[in-house]
């Protein structure tokens, strides 16, 4: 084997790579049931995951796109379940509308209350979030327990999110939490099954913020 072959890095600009990727995704996905606005979200989910099965499984409440755009343009808070989502979000697009991004899971009072009640910080973080993010966007990509608690709070009339992007990944309660979210009559974006994660949740949220810039 010849190990002296000269490596030639790509010289294509990032925007060209992204554009080419989107063209390939559109060609490969073929016909789909999504509206043009929903497809922009799905396209970015596939781009972030290289997973067409995941992309095709994305589900939208009929008001999801409109509600997400409205929340952003109204300067509502974005609540993320973990710091990875907070790090990946395109903050400049949100900040120009007055939105901030908050993760409560490591707040000292959340940690103390979770220990006192012998429960997860994810659950307590949602209980705190609903007091400070009425009408906000909840982006949950890691903790099914956070999504299940948010669903409970919605059912009990304590939480009124503007949009829930619930795409947690995992084997324990991940698929089930998304099934429960899809039963609610509130704006949501979710997907079927165990797949998901912070990366695709960020992709969906960034797509919504891009759509906010277009209207």
Query: What is the domain partition of the chain in residue ranges?
Result: 14-214
77 φ/ψ angles, rounded to the nearest 5 degrees: -70, 145
Task: Give yes or no for residue 2 having a pLDDT over 60.
Answer: no
Q: Is residue 47 annotated as part of the catalytic site, yes or no? A: yes
Question: pTM here?
Answer: 0.91
Distance of alpha carbon 77 from alpha carbon 91, whole angstroms: 12
Backbone phi, psi, residue 165, to 5°: -100, 100
Per residue in 148-184, pLDDT tens?
999 999 999 999 999 999 999 999 999 999 999 999 9
Q: 14-214: which CATH architecture?
A: 3-Layer(aba) Sandwich (3.40)
Residue 159: CB atoms within 10 A of its CB come to: 23
For position 12, what pLDDT does the model report?
63
pLDDT of residue 10: 59
Q: 79 by DSSP, 3-state: which?
A: strand
Q: What is the predicted pLDDT for the residue at 4?
A: 56
Q: pLDDT for 16-31, tens place per residue?
A: 777 888 899 999 999 9
pLDDT at 7: 60
Distances (CA, A) of 177 to 30, 38, 170: 29, 21, 11
Helices (H) and strands (E) in the chain, counts: 11, 6
- Of 5-9, 100-104, 118-122, 200-204, minimum mean pLDDT range: 5-9
What confidence category does residue 215 fall into, taking pLDDT thresholds of 50, 70 and 90?
confident
Among 29, 32, 34, 47, the active-site one is 47
């Amino acid at each position: 084997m010849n190990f002296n072959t000269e490596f030639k890095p790509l010289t294509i600009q990032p925007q060209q790579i992204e554009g080419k990727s989107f063209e390939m995704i559109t060609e490969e996905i073929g016909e789909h049931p999504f509206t043009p606005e929903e497809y922009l979200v799905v396209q970015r989910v596939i781009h972030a995951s290289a997973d067409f099965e995941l992309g095709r499984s994305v589900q939208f409440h009929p008001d999801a796109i409109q509600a997400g755009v409205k929340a952003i343009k109204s300067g509502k808070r974005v609540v993320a379940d973990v710091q990875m989502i907070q790090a990946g979000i395109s903050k400049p697009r949100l900040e120009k509308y007055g939105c901030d991004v908050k993760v409560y899971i490591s707040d000292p009072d959340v940690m103390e209350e979770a220990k006192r009640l012998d429960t997860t910080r994810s659950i307590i973080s949602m209980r705190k979030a609903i007091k400070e993010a009425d009408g906000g966007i909840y982006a949950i990509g890691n903790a099914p327990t956070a999504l299940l608690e948010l669903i409970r709070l919605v059912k009990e009339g304590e939480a009124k999110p503007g949009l829930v992007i619930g795409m947690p990944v995992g084997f324990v309660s991940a698929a089930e939490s998304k099934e429960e979210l899809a039963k609610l009559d509130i704006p949501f974006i979710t997907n079927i099954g165990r797949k998901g994660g912070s990366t695709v949740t960020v992709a969906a949220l960034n797509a919504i913020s891009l759509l906010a810039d277009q209207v």
